[in-house]
Amino acid sequence: MRLERSWVEIDLGNFRHNLRELKKLLLPGQSFLQIVKADAYGHGAFEISKIAMQEGATYLGVANIEEAKLLRLQGIKLPILILSPALENEIGDILAHDITVSISDYQFAQELSRQAGLSKHKAKVHIKIDTGMHRSGLSCTDICSLWKQLIHLKHLDIEGIFSHYAASESDDAFSDDQTKAFAEALEQIDHHALYIHIGNSSALIKHNPPFANLLRLGILSYGVYTAEEQKTAFNLLPVMTFKSTLSQIKTIKKGEYLGYNLTWGAPQDTKYGIIPVGYADGYDFLLGNKAQVSHKGVLCPVIGKISMDMITVDLGDCPDSAVGEELTLIGATHPELRVENITRLYNGSPYELLCQVGRRARRYFYEDQQIVSSSPLSRRDFVSSDFSDNKLNQIIESAISQRLQSEEIGEMIYREILRSFFFNKDRDIHYRQNFRHSVELLHMTKDGLHYQTKTALTFDKVLQSDYFIVACANSDQLLSRYFKRKDVEYRWLMDDSIALGTDQFLLTNVSINGTTLFSEVSHSNGCMEIRCSHPSLSELVGKQVSFAIETKTLYPCNSHQLSIFINELTRGVEISFLYPPELSTVEVVSVFSGQNKYPEIIKSPGAIIVSTKAEEWVFPMSGIVFAY
Ligand SMILES: *Cc1c(COP(=O)(O)O)cnc(C)c1O
């Protein structure tokens, strides 16, 4: 049993089922565009997009550039159409992320073409024609003259032409007029568009003209009927379920009143329950005294008004209910709980309810009764333009202080970092890339106390200054002061049985972009500091460079373990431990923070290699211990 206040279950299997049902009605040659705007109507745009792709979606539809960018960032490669008119200041991002835009006015098209030309691109566009809804789109009557201007915009690729029904679920006559107007508009222009589309999901049964080769599936794919006749045409299963836990059980006496403004009076002594969900969780305020929730298969009426954070339900028909038990507020258990039926109670919109539900809930994605992924509470992805390096550092620091015990925090930081990098072009954050570190125990020294050891480190990073420090010390404490200094690129902890000198710790190669640096050894406060520099480095400051640092040193045989820490933000890690045959069993423990806590570990005789994918972030305070 879950102890969360509320949560949302997304049944990806039901979504797949719905798509298969709906696809049966597509005409020959038609494919579908999956609508995933508003985070896929609250269902999770990334997960929904993946299933839609598997089911043959040829396009994705979003509301704005931020939603499109997020999908790109998450690795979605399918063409994405921004359905609403875009703004001129979004053009840079539109081109950079290869997003298709809809064109509803000539001036925007002109600017888009101009900017695409500068970057030697062709911008993909779908021309939107207004056929009677009078929202966005080029007017049917102007289309001929506008078309002649549009086709002269050299850097536009007119890939699609589309329109949108105002009432495909409820007004057949008006929809037929729109279809006709669209067909006439298409006849007036000499186009070579790859995609022609007009239908949303409700249009599938009665308003799907054969000259359209793409259909835009939204609400029906999420398992919500919009008209009675659909129920005989296909079987849809709700994809979203909104659940909560019974937090308290009480009794109200006959004649007493319940909740704000005392809108419910007890007709007799009544057992009732408190559910920790309110309109702030997206459970609509207007559902007070109207809705029902299901508990152990029994429908229980919501009594009293909906509060911000609580609702109350009549448990009169549930004599054996207990605190901590699960309830379903919206979902498939009863027809009464389907979104289309709940919203009917207050004349609301099922689209709106789906979008607003579960604002304070975790979301769990299921397929075949198994949780396949989840998204954290802070999942409402946003793109903030004032997100600074400073804020990122604060987040990382606070998370480090909690040592990333929480998956939630790990996930959140990961997202924040990505946002900060990719959305704000704020590339001043210093991080290492392609981090490769190998430690090789070669052979025992003659006295049998130490291994002759070779270390090699390479990584790419923006050069901070014309020198850097390699530090070596005999104790954690002495070495620790080098962890705070920004000019230190490598630290080696020497066993305290070993003297500190260049016979014991020697830089055999230190280079930047292949240029060997000068190294200057000094001793201070019990530490050995090696200053690495070269006159040519001053020209490279601020540029991305490749570091290589190799050493020859000693490692005590009786230590039985070797630790390697990652103490800078790093992207892409490979750490190898190479050891002589006499060490027969070597174990490895990795403590990684970041998105992926479990790096790949490959063992072979004499070697263990621990690695992440090249694009994976590893946060400071990560490390690996090899035990032998
Ligand atoms: C949202 C949207 C749709 C999807 O509509 P449903 O009724 O959910 O199927 C289709 N086309 C456009 C242009 C939209 O904005």
3-class secondary structure, 410? helix
Spatial distance between the Cα atoms of 338 and 267, rounded to a whole number of angstroms: 29
In whole angstroms, what is the distance from residue 193 CA to residue 300 CA? Answer: 54
User: Which one is catalytic: 24, 231, 260, 391?
Assistant: 260
Radius of gyration of the chain from its Cα atoms, rounded to whole angstroms: 31
Q: Which numbered atom of ligand 1 lies nearest the CA of 219? A: 8
With beta carbons less than 8 A apart as the criterion, state whether 13 and 190 touch.
Answer: no
pLDDT for 428 equals: 55
**Which residue, by CA, sits nearest to atom 11 of ligand 1?**
200
pLDDT at site 379: 47
41 is an active site residue = no
User: What is the whole-number distance in angstroms between the Cα of residue 141 and the centre of ligand 1?
Assistant: 24
Ligand 1 pocket test, candidate residues 25, 35, 128, 133, most atoms within 8 A of CB: 35
Contacts of 551 (CB under 8 A, 6+ apart): 454, 455, 470, 492, 505, 506, 507, 508
Strand partners, 54: none
> How many Å lie between the centroid of ligand 1 and the Cα of residue 35?
7
**C-alpha of residue 396 to centroid of ligand 1, in Å:** 39
Let me know if 446 is a catalytic residue: no
Q: Provide the pLDDT for residue 396.
A: 55
Report the separation in Å between the CA atom of 371 and the middle of ligand 1, taken as the mean of its atom positions. Answer: 29
Is 83's C-beta closer than 6 angstroms to any atom of ligand 1? Answer: yes
| 311 ligand 1 Cβ < 6 A | no
- Nearest atom of ligand 1 to the alpha carbon of 201: 9
Helix (H, G, I), strand (E, B) or coil at 434: strand
Q: Which atom of ligand 1 is nearest to the CA of 220?
A: 9
> Whole-angstrom distance between the N-terminal and C-terminal Cα of the chain?
42
Q: Which of 23, 37, 69, 461 is catalytic?
A: 37
- Determine the Cα–Cα distance for residues 456 and 602; give it in Å rounded to an integer: 19
What does pTM read for this prediction?
Answer: 0.67
Does 22 contact ligand 1 (Cβ within 6 A)? Answer: no
Pairwise CA distance, residues 159 & 381, whole Å:
29
**Does any ligand 1 atom lie closer than 6 A to the CB of residue 215?**
no
357 CA from centroid of ligand 1 (Å)? 19
Angle at 448 between CA 444 and CA 454, to 5 degrees: 25
CB of 200 sitting under 6 A from ligand 1: yes
pLDDT for position 382: 42
How far apart CA 379 and CA 370 sit, in angstroms, is 21
The answer to whether the CB of 282 is under 6 A from ligand 1 is no
pLDDT at 595: 66
What pLDDT score does 516 carry?
A: 95
For residue 219 and ligand 1, the question of a CB distance below 6 A is answered with yes
Residue whose token pair is 């509301």: 63
CA triplet 170, 174, 179: central angle to 5 degrees?
A: 110
- Following CA atoms 59, 60, 62, 67 in sequence, which dihedral angle do they give, to the nearest 10 degrees? -120
Residue 187 Cα, ligand 1 centroid: separation in angstroms?
24
Contact 212, 295 (CB under 8 A): no
CB of 218 closer than 6 angstroms to any ligand 1 atom: yes
Using a 10 angstrom Cβ sphere, with 0-12 exposed, 13-18 middle and 19 or more buried, the burial of residue 120 is: exposed
Max Cα distance, the chain (Å): 97
Task: Give buried/exposed letters for 357-384 (b at 16+ CB in 10 A, else e).
Answer: bbbbbbbbbbbeeeeeebbebebebebe
Q: How far apart are CA 591 and CA 575, in angstroms?
A: 13
Tell me, in angstroms, the distance from the centre of ligand 1 to residue 248's CA: 41
Please report, for the chain, how many H helices and E strands are present, in that order. 14, 37
Contact present, 60 and 78 (Cβ < 8 Å): yes
Ligand 1 pocket residue status of 35, Cβ below 6 Å: yes
pLDDT for residue 479 = 84
Helix (H, G, I), strand (E, B) or coil at 176: helix
Residues in the chain predicted with pLDDT less than 70, given as ranges, are 1-2, 375-429, 594-595
